[in-house]
Amino acid sequence: MTLLTENPVHDLFLVVTTVLVLIYPFFHRSYQYWKNRNFPYLEPTFPLGNSPYLFTSTLGFGLDTVKYYDEMKKKGYKFGGIYTITTPALVLVDPDYVRDVLTKDFHHFVDRGHYHNERDDPISAHLFSLNEKKWRNIRTKLTPTFTSGKMKMMFHTVLETSKYMTDAIETCALERKDIDIREFLSCFTTDVIGSCAFGIECNSFKGTEAEFRHMGREIFAVRGLRILNLILISKMPRLALKLGLKAINDHVSKFFYEAVQKTVKYREDNNFTRPDFLQLLIDIKNQTKDTENPFTMDQLVSQVFVFFVAGFDTSSSTMNFALYELCKHQDVQDRVREEVNEVLERHGGQFTYESIGELKYLQQVIDEAQRLFPPLVVLTRVCVKDYKLRDTDLVLEKGTRVVIPLYSIHRDPEYYPEPDKFDPERFNSENKKSRHPFVHLPFGEGPRNCIGLRFGLMQSKIGLATILSKFRLRISPKTDMPLRLHEGVLLLKSVNKLYVTAEKI
């Protein structure tokens, strides 16, 4: 005897309903986690908890955190529990608790909790994702490579690369062509990282599809079975690790391994050195090869990989959103251009490492753009040992994920009146001093902040300054306004492209 019928839709409905009924008690017990521990929490819904969707390709929380933050803020919560399917996570609302997690009590929250598979996918075991002991080992080795002196060493490489971009913009200006400015900025940052991290001239503006630019796109490409891979990695990381699932596409890993190993071999065989990030890593590898904790080739490749991803994507996104706002606010664009020209005049018409540091108003523009459009939508940490939250008797258990919703904090009217308004004066010295220091965190904060923030800012300031010193930009009628943001991504991007027109000055 069978309950199935000859109607396949009806049969599928019966099967799904039966499965849901059978697993409901398990979910119900799981959804008592926060209640049993007396934490404030948002009521979950079977079977996704507080997640708005199951089938997502992101490897973390996206703009879905906005609704958590807003609801908790209305309820007066300083923090609150949620569930991603059945997994509990704590969302922080009050910036004092953000400071505790990122700095004051950092030793309880060393790990980010990002998936990596060192055995099957060694390129994923980079500084951003590694856990406590291995992270400390790598971070200690890499910190000296990001000093001001090392940034100055790479400054001229970045500046020279910016000329390819301005030449391409000038061609479009003369031909009165619309410019997909995000694509131009991505080409610029790809060329910069290709040169500084690989010692390779990528030529992304040469007309043909540059291989590094193509790989930059492939890193975030989601298609076919990779969608299922990413769902398992995101929702069930322990199972994904047991199954040996990889966060990085095989052909992407192969490309980066071969590119790095080929360059390293050439330099070592020919005793060739170059003032770039890769050379600094080669030096670390050679200096530590006979030590207890050597810096291996796998580690070298994975750090170059994450430097490439962070360097080309977050910086191009920051510049894209900054130019979007500058196009909408021509008075601000004029003021930035005036500052750039004044600095150039003081330095003989040339950009120098020192002169870029004098662009204070441009820095305010970048700060405000990153407030409105933070490169990372959220920060996550994992509690590595039981932790009592300040001013409470509540204990956060080891292994619990903590979510810091940057996008929402950056747009909270309590800290930023008229939060959707673009106003660089929010970041003049006086206004910065009057705000809580943990309500603007585009690079994170504390020991696990972005190690490459100096390089990222230098690259963004050079890119914006060189463009604005030569061109006036306006939004093209081709642009579908306003820009709309992808909701399910960790690295913030717009759905629609920003097309601009350029007028040579």
Q: Is residue 11 part of a domain?
A: no
Positions in the chain whose pLDDT score sits under 70: 1-28, 52-60, 207-210, 220-226, 235, 488
* Of residues 138, 145, 193, 229, the one with CA closest to residue 463: 193
Q: In the chain, what is the straight-line distance between the N-terminal and C-terminal CA atoms, in Å?
A: 82
Q: What is the pLDDT of residues 467-476, one digit of tens each?
A: 999 999 999 9
What are the CB-based long-range contacts (under 8 Å, 24+) for 397-403?
400/88, 400/89, 400/90, 401/87, 401/88, 401/89, 401/90, 401/113, 402/89, 402/90, 402/92, 402/101, 402/109, 403/61, 403/65, 403/68, 403/82, 403/89, 403/90, 403/91, 403/92, 403/378, 403/379
pTM as predicted:
0.89
Distance between CA atoms of residues 434 and 426, nearest Å? 10
* 402 within domain boundaries: yes
In the chain, how many domains are there? 1
Cis geometry, peptide bond prior to residue 482 (ω within 30 degrees of 0): yes
Query: What is the C-alpha separation between 198 and 238, in angstroms, rounded?
Result: 33
Instruction: Decide if 204 is inside a domain.
Output: yes
Q: What share of the chain is helix, strand, coil (3-state, %, to 5)?
A: 55, 10, 35
* Tokens representing residue 466 in the block: 């060189």
What pLDDT is recorded for position 460?
97
d(CA 139, CA 367): 26
Helix intervals (H) in 31-100: 33-36, 65-75, 95-99
Q: 3-class DSSP state for residue 153?
A: helix
Bond into 95 cis (ω within 30)? no
CA-wise closest residue to 322 among 456, 439, 151: 456
DSSP state of 474: E
Neighbours of 46 (CB within 10 A): 14
Burial bucket for residue 500 (CB in 10 Å: 0-12, 13-18, 19+): buried
Which residues sit opposite 90 in a β-bridge?
81, 402
Amino acid symbol at 367? D
User: How does 346-381 read in b/e, with b if 16+ C-beta sit within 10 Å?
Assistant: eeeeebbbebbeebebbbbbbbbbbbbbbbbbbbbb
DSSP secondary structure code for residue 124 in this structure = G
Q: What's the distance, CA 468 to chain centroid?
A: 25
Q: Indicate whether 13 belongs to any domain.
A: no
> What is the reported pLDDT for 224?
61
Q: Does residue 450 have a known ligand-binding role?
A: yes
Q: The domain spanning residue 317 has which CATH number?
A: 1.10.630.10
20 found inside a domain = no
CB-based contact 90:403 (threshold 8 Å):
yes
pLDDT value at position 271?
93
Whether 243 is covered by a domain: the verdict is yes
- CA-CA distance, 229 to 215, in Å (whole number)? 19
> Quick check: is 331 in a domain?
yes
Residue 442 CB: number of other CB atoms within 10 A? Answer: 23
Q: Pull the structure tokens for residue 52.
A: 């708005």
- Give me the residues paired with residue 79 across strands: 92
Q: What is the model's pLDDT at position 222?
A: 65
User: What's the token pair of residue 53?
Assistant: 């969707």
Structural domain includes residue 16: no
Please tell me the predicted confidence (pLDDT) of residue 205.
84
Rounded CA-CA distance 206/481 in Å is 30
- Which range marks the domain in which residue 185 is found? 33-504
Length of the chain: 505
